[in-house]
Structure 1
């Protein structure tokens, strides 16, 4: 057994947190112990917590603190600390979905040269993309000097890549304009990066304090503060909603009327669930499954890697990484992101 720790949040009050200490369980045949090494903390992780019940995110890492506490999932890197499987070696490094904890026990299945899936019973009926662990060796996306960017952006960029692909795959729904809310958020501007110059005019909605940053990105044809929604051109428009703000949706619908031809909920940077209010909900694994059928797994991986490297070459200049240390660093990063205290240029990562 190995000493470890766990960070948990109160499901009813995400600002209430606890860090507990303990030991890892003894491994049984077929299990592997991963040591969590580096993670990113973004608004995406807060979304997992806000939607923890409805989208089953609390079920990935159930913990043992009782039903009122939850472990918000994180993305990042881990190393194999113990193994009962000969094909998996101590020290191998992986990227994937991780708990806010020092260690994770997984039950690898579908092993190949790229990694494996966690076949633990409690994850069997959860969305399969979240159960994949990718070896850094041979991963066309991985570069050791980009691990902070990967921890911060990779899951968001995958969502952005698939969202942009779905929009383009549907001939932009016949729109002349695509409006993205929370335009200074990473998921929004990565989507705009992918769509820019390919079709409709891209319009980013953001708060007044973020207009300058969002404009400087160069991803949008126009950046508009929320207070100016009423001045948008009334042309056929697709709304990609990453903020979840009811007031902004209401104002946009009033302004555009029948010219709002698609209203798609993508995220909720305000922490307000928006799926019921929107016309439809985007779920990246659905488009991923379509493209795996269209392109094959290798084809999808190759296209994603090409898009990532194109994006990362630019995104590094947009991001000031601030790295915390240990469980307390994780707690502080969580509280800062939850409270909206992280400027759009700043990316929070934590090392353990």
Structure 2
């Protein structure tokens, strides 16, 4: 193995990849070197690449310092890293952290706000990027962490945060007056985690999925009803809110025909079909907005506590429903990227790659 390496994808063709070798970065005062250890690949990572330009995801881990041209991008990943070197007081070698990581062997960060929960990366190029992505959580100060559930956190935590905040926002708005919540891409991790949070709290939950995923989605027990996309015309035309995680124009059109003015809200949440759907929807859900509200309402500790409680409830379901498939090394990372991109990973499976 080289001292370090970088996996990149072509910004205009996500199936074209590059794996390059390089030297381990050197540190300046006030920096720390993280060794990327274990990461996950889900549809969420593909979304980061699809929205890389418009939502600035390519800017978190710029390729130029790694010798890559502007046509290449580093799709962000979630996972665990360990501090390999530190020139920052309070950041100790060997500390294990969860956070936003590059598809690479190492990451140089500039820690600030260092405390028992971890730190934030204050690197200049990340200063104007969404702050939740700049936090690195120490496993020792994380109420959601359990060593035997690391892979579940890798695969679900960023998705579950979106799910948790989405469910909270919908409930916080008294479900917008709806009698039913319709969720597309219902077999996806983000969708059924949100459904798990919402189930039994008010409106009827209806999941829409492809015919091949109906049995799996029903087995989760998160929805009151699971239908295929072709069954939209059978839905009861009662006041409804649509939470769109698929981005499929045909589904949106069918729901609008079926419900008319009874479709009270049309909220774009994600892009599991890689179709930009923000403009077509009535509104867009962005988790950090609700997070900021709840930090004001509950405080940071209150938000962390509620998140951890919800996570541990959901993790029991996740353990039963997910087949974690673990690969090793940069080549496995590349293969997992292509498999997720091409839709070759079934909804009951999750890809984790050991890199360290």
Q: TM-score, normalised by structure 1?
A: 0.99
What is the Cα deviation at residue 315 of structure 1?
A: 1.1
Deviations along 1:213-248, one digit per CA (max 9) or x if unpaired, are: 000100000000001111111010000000000111
Q: 2:271 aligns with which of 268, 272, 282?
A: 268
Partner of 2:22: 22
> What's the counterpart of residue 60 of structure 2?
60
Q: Give distance in 2, aligned partners of 1:148 and 1:323.
A: 9
- Residue in 2 that maps onto 1:302: 305
Distance, in Å, in 2 between the alignment partners of 1:189 and 1:25 is: 40
Unaligned runs of 5+ in 2: none
2:255 corresponds in structure 1 to: 252
- Let me know the Cα RMSD of the aligned residues: 0.7
1:50 pairs with 2:53: no
Measure the CA separation in 2 of the matches of 1:210 and 1:26. Answer: 48
What is the Cα deviation at residue 314 of structure 1?
Answer: 1.6
Of the structure 1 ranges 62-71 and 98-107, higher mean CA displacement relative to structure 2 is found in 62-71
Q: What is the rounded CA distance, in whole Å, between the counterparts of 2:124 and 2:117 in structure 1?
A: 22
Map of 1:75 onto structure 2 = 78
Q: State the match for 1:169 in structure 2.
A: 172
Distance 1:348 1:26 in 2: 31
Q: Mapping of 1:1-352 within 5 angstroms?
A: 3-64=3-64, 65-352=68-355
Distance apart, 1:138 and its partner CA: 2.0
Question: Does the 8 Å CA contact 2:182/2:205 hold for their aligned counterparts?
Answer: yes
Report if the CA contact (8 A) 2:90-2:115 is conserved.
no
Q: Distance in 1 between matches of 2:116 and 2:25?
A: 27
Contact 2:63–2:70 (Cα < 8 Å) also in 1: no
Distance in 2 separating the partners of 1:349 and 1:256: 40
| 2:32–2:111 CA contact under 8 A, matched in 1 | yes
String of CA shifts for 1:261-288, please: whole Å, max 9, x gaps: 0000000100111000000000000000
What is the distance in 2 between the residues matched to 1:222 and 1:25? 52
Q: How many residues align?
A: 351
Query: Which SS does the other structure have where 2:39 is aligned?
Result: strand
Per-residue displacement from partner, 1:91-120 (whole Å, max 9, x unpaired)? Answer: 000000000001000000111110100000
User: What TM-score comes out, normalization by structure 2 length?
Assistant: 0.98
SS of match in other structure, 1:137:
helix
